Amino acid sequence: MPQSSLHHRICVSIGRETIDDVLAAADSVGSGADVLEIRLDSLAVPAISPFVNTLQKPLLFTNRPKWEGGRFGGREEQRLAPLVEAVHANCAYVDLELLAPDSSQRRLLLALEDADTRLILSWHNFQETPGREELVGRLAMMQDKGADIGKIVTFAHSHLDVLRVLQLQELAEERAFPLIAFCMGRPGVISRVATVELGGYMTYCAVSENEATAPGQLSLATLNEIYSLLGA
């Protein structure tokens, strides 16, 4: 399978517990991914340099707190430290939650001033998909807070939830704001495939079927098979 084009930017999310296991997973995806997300909150001992020094793919570092569906439960200063280190190492992306404390956002933005790293401000709702007004408000907050890329992911209970989230791509294009937007849950699976066809910046998938880091997340093999069938 040839490497996916930037129009179909695929990020493989890796949530394993050891550095060696993460490196093995990264090696296993080969050319099928455009970006590798290293879930620092899944690592027993978070680290940056082993991945920056070893992996050739663009790297995205995320240290997701428990209050937004992740595994990190420590102090905020400890959570931010490896993300700042990733910025200093000029990784491709770091992900910070839109609702993170203002002090965390200021700290990361200060580090980003002298780096090529792009900031993804993300917002996840694991229970539902709010109305359009709230979704548009979240997008506006991401821009106002200095995001290079926004990420809005909600849990879909019906196809109407999915349509509401995907419609954000029209607004994002009007504002020239790169946006990652799709839905979790069974009704949202189609949005993970369609989002990049509709102008979305990137979609996410898992290394394998049993390693999903969010509800409804497809494996890399399945996602690439779908794109192949679509002739993408």
Hey, where are the domains in the chain? 6-229
From the candidates 7, 66, 88, 151, give the one annotated as an active-site residue.
151
CA dihedral 64, 65, 68, 69 (to 10 degrees): 70
Confidence of residue 141 (pLDDT cuts 50, 70, 90): very high
Let me know if 151 is a catalytic residue: yes
Q: What is the mean pLDDT of the chain?
A: 94
**pLDDT tens digits for range 10-63:** 999 999 999 999 999 999 998 889 999 999 999 999 999 999 999 999 999 999
**How far apart (Å, rounded) are the C-alpha atoms in residues 67 and 41?**
12
Task: Name the superfamily (CATH) of residues 6-229.
Answer: Aldolase class I (3.20.20.70)
Average pLDDT over residues 210-216: 82
pTM: 0.94
Assign residue 142 a region: left if phi > 0, alpha if psi is -120 to 50, beta otherwise? Answer: alpha
Let me know if 7 is a catalytic residue: no
Confidence of residue 212 (pLDDT cuts 50, 70, 90): confident
From the candidates 8, 124, 145, 159, give the one annotated as an active-site residue.
124
**How far apart (Å, rounded) are the C-alpha atoms in residues 199 and 196?**
5
